[in-house]
Amino acid sequence: MSIVRIPPVLRAQAAGNKQVEIDGGTVGDVLQGLVERYPSLRGQLLDGDGGLHRFVNVYLNDQDVRYLQQLATPVSVADTVVILPAMAGGA
């Protein structure tokens, strides 16, 4: 199982968990498993077509999956998936 790290802003929708272990062969499988376990995360992470929401960054072992194979990026049991909602605003 891959480790998924959940940022503080999304932990309330993930039963307060900082990280969880999810099975999956790709980043997309892992995220799908995550939203099946915590359905209220679906709207935060995925768009209406099941793709990655444009304001969410997902990293596999410190590499942005948008520069790899996106949701089709393979994962192994030793991998860590990190979810980071994009920040906006400022002066």
pLDDT of residue 75: 97
Domain that holds residue 43: 2-85
- Name the helix (H) or strand (E) containing 55: none
Q: How many domains does the chain have?
A: 1
Residue 73 lies in a domain: yes
Q: Look at residues 90, 76, 71, 62 and name the one whose alpha carbon lies nearest to residue 29.
A: 71
pLDDT of residue 86: 81
Residue 27 lies in a domain: yes
What is this structure's pTM? 0.91
| Contact criterion met (CB below 8 Å) for 48 and 26 | no
Helices (H), the chain: 27-37, 42-45
CATH number reported for the structural domain that contains residue 30 in this entry: 3.10.20.30
Residue 13 lies in a domain: yes
pLDDT of residue 88: 62
The per-residue pLDDT string of the chain (91 residues; one tens digit each, 9 = 90 and over) reads 899 999 999 999 999 999 999 999 999 999 999 999 999 999 999 998 889 988 899 999 999 999 999 999 999 999 999 999 886 655 6
Residue reference for tokens 């709207």: 43
Residue 90 lies in a domain: no
The amino acid occupying position 21 is E
